[in-house]
Structure 1
Amino acid sequence: MLQLDKHSKVPLYKQLKEALLEYIEKNLKEGDALPIESEIEKLFGVSRITVRKTIEELASEGIVTKTQGRGTFVQTKNIVQKAGNITSWTEEMRLKGKQTETKNLMVNEIEPSKKIAKELQLSKGEKVICLKRLRCADGEPISILINYFRSKFTPGFLEKGLTKESLYEILEEDYGIQLERAHERVKARLATDLEALELGISPDSAILHITRVSYLPDGTPFEMVEMANRSDRYEYDIDLVGRNKLKTFTAEGE
């Protein structure tokens, strides 16, 4: 374990940070608890203020998480979704080696709201299937997922129900529905009381709210999805095109 040098020009909290990072790397795994503040004080011969400043910095970098009344724990790695591909939530988790679970499943045929009707360009009187699920990865609630898709393309879905974890697998195998493209909007907002309860987070915690509209090969909008994802456990990974490449694309399209 790194020893702290009180005569060094490097601040003690930075030295302590390096020492704790080494300790975590060698001795702890995701979800394990760090020693309590008083133990860290004695172990490294530093003040409580230094310990707290170091822990706060580790927490701000997502290395540890502090839980009121329980202690400080090694942060579980965030689930990162690669933007740019149409994949189901289940497929994303499988790729990351996660065990998926569905809770609070609700499925109904409903009259669409004006927003849904507009996004899906529905005819007057056309109904949609509403499928709401709480999605868990390795037993931890991660996302509230609500799918709205056109009833007339999926006859018998209500009677059959969700026969697999992946909705998209059912659509492809049972109905021959292939989604050609999709458009997503991502924004940060505060969780509602119900969302916080279902996700097991503190009230008014930040979440990532995602709205996706998916289209069939002929350009028909088929599905609208709304996702409320825990911002402390979910990230988006996006590749961007360089400016020179973008200029080339623009010139070729002229």
Structure 2
Amino acid sequence: MKRWELVRSALLNDIDAGAFQDGRLPGDFVLADRFGVNRHTVRNAIKALESEGALRVQHGVGTFVADDFVSHKLNSDPRFTYKLLGQNKSVKREILSINETSVEPDIASHLNIAPSALVTEVRSTSFINDWPLATGTSYYPAARVPGLATAFEGMNSPTAALKRCGIAEYKRKWTRITARRPSSQEAQLLRISSSSPVLFETNVDVTPDGLPIKYAFSVIRSDRYEYLIETNE
């Protein structure tokens, strides 16, 4: 067996055992020193594992266990968990806080409510295979979705909570995606460095008759996430 094949086999065993903290492999120099080989041998092993779908190499960022990567198809269906059912991912959402409050004028404008109107503010963090993927805040007009805070009791699913409030159907009106650096609190929640770039997504969901029921923003780990946009031509 060639040296790169031995390295590949050892790395694959580590992947299966969940040995890489945060789903990220050490750098080439560290791995080369560990196995007593040169960097070229390590890169051959990583290239083989990448072609097999076990690893994902993001140039300039690092090498990651592919199981921690999420591909999100952008369309009018806002149900994030539903979209991941076919990707063999374990999806979990942790509710950090739920409050009734007023919001800034721009958020009120997106929700088509008066600036003084109350909203239900839901802060949460989403996890994929027990690793944090995104953290953010959603705002629901209190008058349109009464009792939402109570509806969240015993569950972490916005779709299920909205259904308890009588809203069985809704769709994504628009999504905007930019990039920036995380705040110190966001970096802590996502378990990344404050210098790591993140994706910043804002969106609005509406009822079938076009009435806004949610405005949200999410800070997403860019090393584990991609958007897939399909066009029908």
Which residue is 2:33 aligned to? Answer: 38
Structure 1 position 144, deviation (Å): 0.4
C-alpha distance in 2 between matches for 1:183 and 1:24: 45
Q: Distance in 1 between matches of 2:6 and 2:223?
A: 22
User: Residues 50-129 of structure 1: matches in 2 within 5 Å?
Assistant: 50=40, 61-62=57-58, 74-103=65-94, 105-129=96-120
Given that 1:192 and 1:203 are in contact with CA atoms closer than 8 Å, whether structure 2 keeps it comes out as yes
Deviation sequence 1:33-87 (CA, Å, 0-9, x none): 6783135444xxx4x6x46877998898349x86xxxxx8745441111111423
Confirm or deny that 1:184 pairs with 2:171.
no
Name the CA shift for 1:26/1:129 in 2 (closer, same or farther; >3 Å): closer
Of 181, 188, 191, 1:197 maps to 188
Which of 10, 29, 34 matches 2:15? 29
Aligned residue for 1:240? 231
Q: Does 1:149 align with 2:140?
A: yes
In the aligned structure 1, how far is the partner of 2:117 from the partner of 2:177? 27
**Conserved in 1, the CA contact under 8 Å of 2:78 and 2:172?**
no
Q: Structure 1 residues 80 and 128, CA, compared in 2 at 3 Å: closer, same or farther?
A: same
Return the alpha-carbon distance in structure 1 between the equivalents of residues 9 and 108 of structure 2: 55
* C-alpha displacement of 1:238: 1.1
Report the secondary structure of 1:118's partner residue: helix
Instruction: Give the TM-score of the pair, scaled to structure 2.
Output: 0.76
RMSD of aligned alpha carbons: 3.4
Cα distance change of structure 1 residues 207 and 73 upon mapping to structure 2, 3 Å threshold:
closer
1:172 and 2:163 equivalent?
Answer: yes
In 1, the alpha carbon distance for the partners of 2:191 and 2:124 equals 15
Q: Greater Rg, structure 1 or structure 2?
A: 1
Query: Partners of 1:28 and 1:195 in 2: how far apart?
Result: 29
Greater shift, 91-100 or 33-42, is seen at 33-42
- 1:249 aligned partner: none
2:149 to 148, 158, 180: 158
Task: State the distance in 1 between where 2:167 and 2:72 align.
Answer: 26
State the secondary structure of the residue aligned to 1:178.
coil
The separation in 2 between residues aligned to 1:159 and 1:199, in whole angstroms, is 27
Indicate the SS of the match to 1:152.
coil
Does structure 2 conserve the Cα–Cα contact (< 8 Å) formed by 1:147 and 1:224?
yes
Distance in 2, matches of 1:88 and 1:145, equals 15
* Letter paired with 1:209: F
- CA separation of 1:215 and 1:102: change in aligned 2, threshold 3 A: closer
**Unaligned runs of at least 5 residues, structure 2:** none
Shift of the 120–174 alpha-carbon distance from structure 1 to 2, 3 Å rule, reads: closer
Query: Aligned-pair distance for 1:129?
Result: 0.8
Fraction of identical pairs, as percent: 23
C-alpha deviation, 1:88, in angstroms: 2.4
TM-score normalized with structure 1 length: 0.70
Instruction: Please give the alpha-carbon distance, in whole angstroms, between the structure 2 residues aligned to 1:27 and 1:196.
Output: 30
Q: Any conservation in 1 of the 2:205–2:215 contact (CA below 8 Å)?
A: yes
